[in-house]
Structures are given as structure tokens and as C-alpha cells.
Amino acid sequence: MFVGSVAAGIPLVVSSAAHSLAHSATGQPHIHRGVGATDTVFEHATRQLAALVNKVRRSGVAPEDVRLAAAHFGTLAVYGQGAGIDTQTSRAVRDLIRSKGRDAVLDLDVDHARVVAELKPFGVDIDRRWLTPHVVDRGIRARALDDLSRNGVTGMFARAVSAFEHIAAELDRRGGRLTGVRLVQVDDSWKAEFCGRLWLDVSVQAAHAAMLCAAMLYMPGMEAECAFAQMAVMFFLAIYYSVCF
């Protein structure tokens, strides 16, 4: 089911990329953007993810919601590899480390005021509970930083796809759409195992988003990637508060 969903999204990548990509003298694709330009592929995916956040908040989470999110992430991974975004991202993150120092970068958190301001145009309905500070283990932060500085963003997308596959499978096993209150109250294994792993996913995505958005200073015109990373945090939180709180 997931493979078909990703395949269905690939035409979007192909048609949009035709307008977004240029080729260097070496023949490798990369993104050219003028001042004030943005990435329409990432913008489209962010709007689609915003709609899923709103749906989950309103009606609870269903396996098909999570699989659709996985398809968006998988499509962006294909697009990002073709567009050379990983190379640009990893370079920008290394510039951020050189400028601020590794310890300072590891201390970065998601800027919630910035999240609200930047995601508002996408129509997302953010639960104020999602904006409470998240304590992210320093080891998680270090691994996220190393991943971004070495591999760019597609590793983050691949990890999210894996997390979504696990979430969807668990929802299938539990009978589809859930609000979570009953399971959290009566099923200790659900709370300890599923919800514990889901909170880890929230933490990893929050660490990636904080560092990626800080690196935008060195990636002019790439703000859409930051917005998508922030929206991904909101989607993970929407699932968490739907089934674990």
C-alpha cells in the first residue's frame, strides 16, 4: 500500500522539478532560485501535511492518514536527491557549526513563535499544548546534527517514513482510527512501548527541525524546507496527542 502511494506522488515530483531544477557544468542537478523565490514542491507537501494535521486533530488518526504522510515524505526524498538538496543542506549545517560552535547548535530548540508565524499561511490549526518546550536528549540532538551535516535531509525523510510505517501497522493492529484515551488508560504496553517510541519520533523530528531551520541563514531561498520540517513536528505531535494523551 505504501509503495503504491509513493509511486502515485512521483508525477508531482517530475512535473514540478522540471520548473525547479537547473544543471551545473558537471551535469549534476541543483536548485537555482532568485531572491524571494521558494520551492513549490516543498510548499505543496507542507500544505498537504497541514491538512493531515488538521484532520488528525479534528477526527483522530487513521492508518491511511499516516500512510499518506509517508507518501509525501517519500516523494520529497526522491525530489531532494534529484535536486541536490542534500549537498546544499549538509554544507549549510556545517557552516552553522563553524559559525556558532557545535555545542551551541546542539542547544538549539524549535522556536515556537517562529513556528506559529511561519506555518499560519498553510492553514494549520496548532494545538497550544504542542508548543510547550520539549526536552530532547543530547544524544538524540548529536545524532540528528551528525545526520544533517553528513547526509542532508533525505535521511530525515527516510527515518520519518519508517516511523510512519510502524505507526500505521500498530493502528491497523488496534483496529483503525483511534482517539487513544481508552488504550492509554487500560493498556500499559501501549503507553510504555508505542507511546514511548512515538515520543522518541517527536524528539528526533524536533531536533532535526531546530537545526535545519537555523541553517537557513546559509541557504537563502530554502525556507520551504524549514516550514516542512516544522510541519512534520506538528504532525507527529498531532498523532501523539490523538493516541497517547
Q: Which of 87, 14, 75, 81 is nearest to 46 (CA)?
A: 75
The Cα–Cα gap between 72 and 157 comes to: 9
Residue type for position 45? A
- Could you report the per-residue pLDDT of 116-160, keeping only the tens digit for each? 999 999 999 999 989 887 788 899 999 999 999 998 998 899 999
* pTM assigned to the model: 0.82
Alpha helices in 101-194 (DSSP H): 102-106, 112-119, 138-151, 154-174, 181-186, 188-189
- In this prediction, residue 134 carries a pLDDT of 74
Confidence of residue 81 (pLDDT cuts 50, 70, 90): confident
* Alpha-carbon distances of 18 from 11, 22, 44, 78, 82, rounded to whole Å: 11, 8, 15, 14, 11
The Cα–Cα gap between 150 and 94 comes to: 9
Cell digits of residue 53: 494535521
The Cα–Cα gap between 126 and 115 comes to: 10
The Cα–Cα gap between 101 and 110 comes to: 18
Q: What is the mean pLDDT of residues 40-66?
A: 95
- Could you report the per-residue pLDDT of 156-185, keeping only the tens digit for each? 999 999 999 999 998 888 775 555 445 555
Q: Which of 233, 189, 207 is nearest to 143 (CA)?
A: 207
3-class DSSP assignment, residue 21:
strand
